[in-house]
Structure 1
Amino acid sequence: MVSFCHKILLQFSYCARTEKCKCKDYFSKFNIMLLTVNIVMEIIAMSQAYAMEPLLPSYEPTQHMSSNPNLYVSTENSLFKNYFAGPQVIEVSVNDPGINRLDQAYGEPIVTVNGKRLRMAQTTDGNWYAYFADRNQAIAAANTAVITGKGLNFGGFCAPNSSFSPKSGLVYSDTVGFTIARGGFGSINDTNNGGTKISPSNLPLCTNIQGMLTANQMEHVIRQNKTLNMNPNGFAANAIEENIWPVIQLYDFSSIPTPVTVDYQKAGGDQIVALIFDKIPSNMINAYSNRPDFPPGAEIQGDLIDPQLNIDPTSEDSWTWGISPINNTLYYMAFDRNGKPDADGTLAMQNLIGNLTALMFNHNGALTGYLPQGVVITESQSNGIQTLFKDNNGLMRTNSISGLSGPFTTREIQPNVGIFANYDDGGIADVKIADNAPRDTSAIFSYNDKSYTVMVKYHDAKLTMNRPLVETISGTVGNPVGGYVVLTIVKPDNTKVRVNADVTDSGSFSTSITLDNSYPSGKYVVSGNYQDMDLGQIFFIVK
């Protein structure tokens, strides 16, 4: 609501725009319509419990930091104290200038996981890669994937004592099982096992007989792997290796907590990374908003920090909830990294809420929302991370999640960081504040046994303008949070000038403009905006 408290017409003289001017010869009259505007705004404040927790800039990752010069392990992360859990896939890379040429054959670098051999393969970037996971967790996840190349599909499973050997001397006997990317070779998968679920006891003995491969990659938990080096003078990967890559080597970490040691036995000294396989400590899991206040119609941007949601170390993971507490659901990769349907609308859209305990989630994993006053104050929308359309009730839904269930998607902000956002690269969130959201109503969201409240509040602001030659535009904002007011001056020819006015701790702001030859006669409109809050308009006329 906007109320105009004062309407004052001022006339005064102004010495025109030349250093040689004489005021008696160059008077111009300015008619200034001064509007002191009292603006009542509805602001949405997202807070946890009783206090707002802003997004911490230090949590925004820029690159992975390794404690070793040549050994990279994807879950080595000081923010999460090197924890990993559930069906997370771990990428191990050796970047060693002594063995990185593509046209030269080298011996495979010796890397172990808890003393067991991890077989490495060279790719076209010159580095050596391998992937591993916990066997029981990989099986539990794979048993939810009923379509090839969708969901938590780990590819085709093989027993550790398989005779399968894609290259002379290459076997996976130090593991407790392994998976291959396109199936075949006698492997099993939940998509081709005749309804029988995979278990540690029924892993088959894979052989070098190819059998039936999937046309596209069956495995869906490593989506952006590097390409193997097939140079015959170098690593010389063959067609079998190409068909099975990437291989996920499985180990037994079931006695949690399990210390996991990755060791690159480099000549001159081992390089070691120590990990912990266990349920993620609750204090490492949080949700944050990037600002305390949201006006009606604004995007509600939030970040969810949960390393366990980082399944694929090579690509951004996406998770979609139906946040209704009555019909709470959870899906992995309902949408791809560009927000287009992936599992959504297919049989691969498997609800994982009932599998959270088996997948080592503790209190995390489930996201719910409810309306204490029964008043809807938010609206779902499509953006670059999810695709929605209206159902018969006018609610936004996906192909598989009804509008009443409340679809809500987060996508990892970068590959392998464990920080997820509900907004796309352009800042468009998948939920926004309704334009007609009533004041003093709220919505409450819960994740990891923590509640976050979206509350409608009111704020005041006013914008005033003083006299030229150097014109000062000033005003105040209620409940300031720093930053600046963006002032837009629209000239009579519809060209625009934008200036920023810093906001003080008390909420005041001020800036000056010089009315020179670039300001022709006519009506000027000045509008202000602070943190997406419209401060209204004032105007003046140059004659």
Structure 2
Amino acid sequence: MVQGTDARWHAHFASLRAAAAADATASPPGTGLDFGTLCAGGAEADAVLAAATGAAQDYFGEAAGVAFPLGGGCGGGYGGSREMAVLRGERTAGTAFGVGQSIPVVGSAREAAALVWPFIQLYDLGSSVTIRHGPESVELEYGTTDGIAALRLDREVYPPGADVHLEISDAWLNVDPTDEDSWTWDVGGEGEGRVIYRAFGLHASPTGNTADVSPSFGALGCEDTCSLQIDLAGGALEAVGNGNGAASLGGDGGLVTLVETGPNTGVFASYDSANSSSLKVSAGAPRGTAATVSYSSAKSVSIAHGDASLDVGAGGQWPSGTRAGVTLSDTDANRNSRQRETLDVSDAQASIPTIITGSPLTLAGARITALGAGGERVAAAVEADALSARAIITPEAPVSAISVDYGAAAAPVPPTLNLLLNYDLRSTGSPSVDATLSGGGSTHEIASGAPPRGLVGIPREALAGAAPGRGGTLLLSLSSPAPAGSPLAIVADVFAFGVDGGRAVASQVVRLELEETGADTGTFAGSIEYSLAGARGASAYADLATIGDRATMVAADGGEDVTLTYGDLAADGSRRPVSGTASTASHTGTVSFDRDEYGTSDTVTVTLRDADLNTSPDTAESYRVGPLGGGLLVLTINGVQWAERPGCPAPGPDLSLLETGPSTGVFVGQLRVPAQWCDGVSPVPQPTARAKIGITYADRTDARGTGGIAATEAPRTAGKSLPLAISDARPAAGGLAVALTGPPGTALEVIAQVYGKDGAVERIVSAAAHIGGGGTARAVLPLGDGGDSVRVFAWRDGLALAEAHGPLSLRGASHP
């Protein structure tokens, strides 16, 4: 025994007969079942030990033989490189070794001990073995594992494309107690029946060992149990490479490798650390077929299809900005019982739940060409997945770019629509993508060095000039070529959002990458939420998540049915559409003030209630309304819309509305009451005193699904106004005579605005006036010749003091 650096004592022993038979299979040396240098027990083995320790030893007298790690023979030639391959994780030798005695190993002698450790003591073992150390003993049974070895499969029924996880429990396969063992069986290649020990090492790297140990099974005590047989000839199952090892070695395929689940467990598994198995059901395996896997006993692998069900749980009315849960139950999609799987758009075998609204451009109706590094055409099989609007490309050579001609589908685009490119090229393995779109005789860059999946804006002119029958052409260039032979599932859609002819447009494709609720459940979940097109600004579409397990989309109007379609695998290999539907909802908005009256310069709180403006359930949203002359909200005074023009005061700063909390649909903003306003008629601002202020909300989609108006008004008083009035105005000698009443001592300016027959202002005249002690005043304004009518205003310090008087007709009047 040897004391290791862990302070424990360690020994390795084996059957002399089995060790010699195993060692004879090793080729080249240092691989496979190589036991190193086998020496006879007693003096021959002690001589090797003596040479290492520098002193005569009597250590291996009871052993029939000893296997030492280095080559060179048992005499003076022992040494050189290590050849022992059946021990790989032994403990480092410590301070001493011995049986019944402690032989110090220090200094140079300790270094010499490394030449002989680890050694394996070999015995002529009987059916029972007793190991004694002092007063303690352990009894072992030695023999074959017939009737003990066991084969387990992870399930009985598998869908096409599924991983078949098999485990073998067999102590015979556990050669190295210090490390994980690895066994490779040729179950369908040219060398079918071969069994190789450690053909592959870490990360499935070949060890260089190709020696077949199956002819030595009899001598190794494994005549009846160590042969793994899998029926690959029927085509239902296939051997594939994984982290355990490759499916072929030296040009010979059909290899299945099992690796021990841990040192000394005796349990061997076909799955690797990523839970990918070296044995799978063929993707095209027909329903109702079966295959057999045998190791000490036979197990049947049955291939069958399950019926899928899809539910969109909107729970009745589905308001915008709220999530509707999506649940898919499909055993066919449960292809790996050891993983929590995702229905990935980039997975060519996966079926993707998909929503298509409007008329987006997709690959389903496009002409697709794979291109090489020099722009040459690459031969490739192209299959359209109509349900998910994807293309599956299997190229015969590496692909550096993909050309997409949308053809006649790319009709001229209305200038009011916002265009976006939705793409997913993750299956190519390229870390970045460049995209250009040609149309109307010009080429436009859409993306440069972009991630392999994204949603980016498209210049409208890129497709606007595309004539019917000769549409836009999209070129997707990969920064790293996609390999040949593997199917590439790709997406390249052109979305359109906005308003066309007064009708909301939302042309898009939404693909849900649902996630399995747990390993081996076959139930997949996610969610979908939407916002109404009227609640989004012109540039607020690039944040949509149209691919993912928590997808977002745009609904053109409330009250629409949103249909989610999934391709369920049918018995004949086709995809049968299974759908789930939920109805969007729209609401009638309201707007209100916080008080009935306001004074000049008071702050007005405006509350807008409309669940349609709630576009996200997770955040409190905001809307910047802008000047209150139009758009989402319109400010009115005395029922007249505020007129924006030079010389007129603005209604305070831009109004911003902030949602009171996530998903409340209640938005609050504030503005300040102006002292004056412009009515669009008067040439000068008017006082807001005793006027009615109102806010009108343009509800783009109300509860009926049509546009509506929600308006409110509140009387308010802006401080005290002067009790001044224009009591009379009429043509008189010298011009226009104007009579006024008001507080005594008031000085003011009287203004007359003369209009022509076309209603345009021809001239403005003015005269000063002063209210006398009797509370009256009279002013005469020289109007001059011409004019059809006149209006009179009273002003002081730029502020209108009274309501305008007129218009008065000047036709037939004499006014010098």
* TM-score of the superposed pair, with normalisation by structure 2: 0.40
Match of 2:40 among 159, 164, 170: 159
Whole-Å separation in 2 of the counterparts to 1:135 and 1:502: 49
Please, which of 236, 239, 245 is the counterpart of residue 111 of structure 2?
A: 239
| Matches of 1:377 and 1:221, distance apart in 2 | 36
Does 2:283 align with 1:435? Answer: yes
In the alignment, what sits opposite 2:308?
Answer: 461
1:260 aligns with 2:134: no
| Counterpart residue identity of residue 458, structure 1 | H
1:132 aligns with 2:18: no
The code of the aligned residue for 1:175 comes to A
Q: Which shows bigger deviation, 136-145 or 288-297?
A: 288-297
1: distance between equivalents of 2:200 and 2:83? 17
User: Which of 31, 44, 51 is the aligned partner of 1:150?
Assistant: 31
- Secondary structure at the aligned position of 1:357 is classed as helix
SS of 2:114's equivalent in the other structure is helix
5 Å-filtered alignment, 1:28-67, equals none
Paired AA for residue 305 in structure 2: Y
* Residues 340-419 of structure 1 aligned to structure 2 (within 5 Å): 340-344=205-209, 349-370=210-231, 375-388=234-247, 397-399=248-250, 402-403=252-253, 406-419=254-267
**Which whole-Å CA distance do the structure 2 matches of 1:357 and 1:322 have between them?**
19
Take 2:198 and 2:527, find their aligned partners in 1: how far apart are those partners? 52
Distance 2:551 2:257 in 1: 48
Q: Partner residue of 2:151?
A: 287
Question: Whole-Å Cα distance in 2 between the matches of residues 539 and 234 of structure 1?
Answer: 80
Letter in structure 2 aligned against 1:228: A
Q: Which runs of 5+ in 1 are unaligned?
A: 1-119, 188-205, 389-396
2-structure distance, mates of 1:381, 1:131: 36
Query: Is the CA contact (8 Å cut-off) linking 2:528 and 2:552 kept in structure 1?
Result: no
Deviations 1:276-300 (A, max 9, x none): 1111141x21111223332222222
State how far apart, in whole Å, the 1-side matches of 2:239 and 2:180 are: 22
The equivalent of 2:174 in structure 1 is: 310
Q: Is 1:522 aligned to residue 554 of structure 2?
A: yes
Aligned-pair CA distance for 1:175: 0.7
2:276, 2:341 → 1: CA distance? 21
The partner residue of 1:218 within 83, 91, 96 is 83
Structure 2 counterpart of 1:332, one-letter code:
Y
CA distance in 1, matches of 2:288, 2:281: 14
Q: CA 1:375–1:514 in structure 2 vs 1: closer, same or farther (change >3 Å)?
A: closer
Structure with the bigger RCO (C-alpha within 8 Å, sep 6+) is 1
Q: CA deviation at 1:160?
A: 1.5
- Secondary structure of the residue that 2:220 maps to in structure 1? coil
CA contact (8 A) 1:486 1:529 kept: no
| 1:455 to partner: Cα distance | 2.3
Q: Aligned ranges for residues 454-493 of structure 1 at < 5 Å?
A: 454-466=301-313, 467-468=316-317, 471=324
Do 2:246 and 2:255's aligned partners in 1 also have CA atoms closer than 8 Å? Answer: no
CA distance in 2, matches of 1:311, 1:290: 25
**Equivalenced residues, count:** 370
The superposition leaves residues 370-418 of structure 1 with CA deviations (integer Å, 9 ceiling, x where unpaired) of 36xx631223222111124xxxxxxxx2116x23xx2111111111111
Give the Å deviation of 1:521: 5.7
Q: Which amino acid aligns with 1:407?
A: L
Question: Which amino acid is the alignment partner of residue 299 of structure 2?
Answer: Y
Please report how far the alpha carbon of residue 369 of structure 1 lies from its aligned counterpart in structure 2 after TM superposition.
2.7
After TM superposition, give the deviation of residue 539 of structure 1 in Å.
6.2
Instruction: Determine if contact 1:322/1:328 at 8 Å carries over to the other structure.
Output: yes
The alignment partner of 1:238 has SS state of: helix
Say if 1:472 and 1:242 are closer, same or farther in 2 by CA, change over 3 A: closer
Deviation at 1:365, TM superposition (A): 0.9
Distance 1:502 1:143 in 2: 48
Question: Does residue 171 of structure 1 match 2:59?
Answer: yes
Report the Cα distance in structure 1 between the residues aligned to 2:524 and 2:567, rounded to whole angstroms: 13
Counterpart of 1:451 in structure 2 is 298
For 2:62, what is the secondary structure of its paired residue? Answer: coil
For residues 191-248 of structure 1, the C-alpha deviation after alignment (integer angstroms, 9 at most, x for no partner) is xxxxxxxxxxxxxxx4xx3x25232x210110111222269x9752523311121011
- The structure-2 alpha-carbon separation of the partners of 1:475 and 1:386, relative to structure 1 and needing over 3 Å to count, comes to closer
In the other structure, the counterpart of 2:642 is: none
- Please list the CA deviations of residues 484-505 of structure 1 after superposition, one character each: whole Å capped at 9, or x if unmatched: 99899999988979677699x9
Query: How far apart in 2 are the matches of 1:521 and 1:457?
Result: 35
**Structure 1 position 171, deviation (Å):** 2.1
Identify the match of residue 300 of structure 1 among 128, 144, 164.
164
SS of equivalent to 1:459: coil
| 1:298 counterpart SS class | coil
Structure label with greater radius of gyration:
2
Q: Distance in 2 between matches of 1:520 and 1:146?
A: 60
Distance 1:313 1:537, change over 3 A: farther
Look up the match of 1:76: none
What secondary structure does 1:152 align onto? coil
d(CA) in 1 for partners of 2:78, 2:578 = 67
Q: Deviations for 1:28-55, whole angstroms, at most 9, x for unmatched residues? A: xxxxxxxxxxxxxxxxxxxxxxxxxxxx
Whichever structure has more strand as a proportion of its residues is 2
Distance 1:235 1:214, change over 3 A: closer
Query: Deviations for 1:321-361, whole angstroms, at most 9, x for unmatched residues?
Result: 112498421111111143111134xxxx2222221111101
